[in-house]
Amino acid sequence: MTAEADAQTVTCGVQDQGPGIPPDERQRVFERFYRVERHRSKATGSTGLGLAIVKHIVERHGGRVWVDRGHGEMTGAAFFFTLPRAETPGEPATGPDD
């Protein structure tokens, strides 16, 4: 799991060592009811809604979500999302010119 922040956004990520997600299916995993491994849905009880819900929540908060291949020893999938930084009470707001 990773987390990074800059003046405007916070980026979080999580990686696994699973089989990964083929490049042509990476964007589709965020569609409702879509599953890369359809044969596992009955065995695991998966509905294919989890990542669609994540995308909806993140985008409603002004962020974005994406998937990439794993990095380093983590050979599976790497999921990331960004969110705008919230102002801390008592701190002045910073803008793009600060």
pLDDT at 84: 96
pLDDT in tens, the chain (98 residues): 999 999 999 999 999 888 888 888 888 888 888 777 655 455 556 677 889 999 999 999 999 999 998 776 667 899 999 999 987 777 665 555 55
pLDDT confidence of residue 98: 53
CA 56 to each of CA 36, 38, 62, 63: distance values in angstroms, whole numbers, following the listed order:
19, 22, 10, 10
pTM of the model: 0.73
Distance of CA 91 to CAs 7, 8, 87, 88, 94, Å? 13, 14, 7, 6, 9
Q: Which two tokens stand for residue 60?
A: 């409603």
pLDDT at 88: 73
Q: CA nearest 12: which of 74, 60, 54?
A: 54
